[in-house]
């Protein structure tokens, strides 16, 4: 479980990294995908920041992660220029695809299909 300082640093990195992607993201992965930072988790020693990204408007979402890794040093330098006064050592970054919204959409579609096929029981039937 993350302590207060880990949460503070994670939130600071999330805020600055999100702003950075809005301003410079088109140079890294193009104009087509819409990328948001959904979560940042810090290791207890603050050496690694795990950055979870949601990607929209792109079929192959892993492609964005590959572009981020290709431009790793550019991204780290840009982040460092924003947070170097608030944190002593800039953490290494690891990028992960957050597909929680995609999974939620699939579950929602399953419920809609069950409802359309009248396979979902109603409360009246259960009582």
Domain range enclosing 80: 4-99
Total domains in the chain come to 1
What percent of the chain stands above pLDDT 70?
90
Give per-residue pLDDT as tens, 11-38: 999 999 999 988 888 888 888 888 899 9
User: What is the average pLDDT value for the chain, to the nearest integer?
Assistant: 86
For tokens 């087509």, what's the residue? 32
Query: Is residue 111, in this structure, part of any structural domain at all?
Result: no
Rounded to an integer, the average pLDDT of 30-48 is: 91
Name the token pair of 25: 């993201």
Q: How confident is the model at residue 69 (pLDDT cuts 50, 70, 90)?
A: very high
Q: What is the CATH number of the domain that holds 95?
A: 3.30.300.20
> Would 115 be classed as within a structural domain?
no
Burial of 3 (0-12, 13-18, 19+ CB in 10 A): exposed
- Indicate whether this model's pTM tops 0.85: no
Does position 101 have pLDDT exceeding 80, yes or no? no
pLDDT band at 120 (very low <50, low <70, confident <90, very high): low
Whether 47 is covered by a domain: the verdict is yes
Q: What is the pLDDT, as a whole number, of residue 78? A: 93
Is the dihedral angle over the CA atoms 74, 40, 50, 87 positive or is it negative? positive
Instruction: Please report whether residue 109 resides in a domain.
Output: no
Cα distance between residue 34 and residue 21, in whole Å: 10
Q: Where does the pLDDT of residue 114 fall: very low under 50, low under 70, confident under 90, or very high at 90 and above?
A: confident
Q: What is the 8-class DSSP label of residue 58?
A: -
């Amino acid at each position: 479980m993350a302590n207060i300082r880990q949460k503070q640093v994670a939130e600071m990195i999330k805020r600055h990294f999100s702003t950075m992607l809005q301003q410079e993201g088109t140079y890294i992965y193009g104009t087509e995908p819409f990328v948001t930072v959904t979560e940042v988790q810090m290791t207890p020693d603050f050496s690694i920041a795990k950055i979870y990204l949601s990607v929209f408007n792109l079929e192959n979402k892993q492609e964005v992660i590959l572009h981020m890794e290709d431009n790793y040093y550019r991204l780290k330098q840009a982040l460092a220029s924003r947070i170097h006064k608030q944190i002593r050592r800039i953490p290494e970054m690891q990028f992960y695809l957050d597909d929680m919204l995609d999974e939620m959409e699939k579950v929602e579609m399953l419920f809609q299909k069950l409802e359309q096929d009248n396979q979902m029981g109603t409360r009246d039937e259960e009582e």
